[in-house]
Amino acid sequence: MVFTDGSKLEFDRRGNWTDVDCKGTQVPAGIVPQQIVDYVEANYAGATIRNIDRDTRDYEVSLSNRLELKFNMQFMLIDIDD
């Protein structure tokens, strides 16, 4: 599903979101697990989450400062791509 502002949502066949991409704005806080929000706020002050992608193994988050963070399903940071 693509919105008029360019934001995009993708769902799996069960109706669960798999990808939320907010072009130029931040992903709504209610979508992002609180542990990830807390980590970003504590470690990247001022950065916003622009994209979040999840599958059965991990969450991938793209920040407004162009960093990409990967968290396992227990919300532990496992990779940073700059």
Q: pLDDT digits over 24-68, tens only?
A: 789 988 899 999 999 999 999 999 999 999 999 999 999 999 999
Contact 56, 18 (CB under 8 A): no
The reply to whether 1 falls in a domain is no
Residue 2 lies inside a defined structural domain of this protein: no
What is the pLDDT, as a whole number, of residue 7?
81
Spatial distance between the Cα atoms of 69 and 74, rounded to a whole number of angstroms = 14
Domain count, the chain: 1
Q: What is the CATH number of the domain that holds 26?
A: 3.40.1420.30
In angstroms, the CA 56 to CA 67 distance is 22
Q: Is residue 16 part of a domain?
A: yes
Region for residue 72 given its phi and psi (left: phi exceeds 0; alpha: psi -120 to 50; beta: otherwise): beta
Q: Would residue 39 count as lying in a domain?
A: yes
Q: Which residue range forms the structural domain that includes residue 65?
A: 8-81
Helices (H), the chain: 34-43
- Assigned domain for 3 exists: no
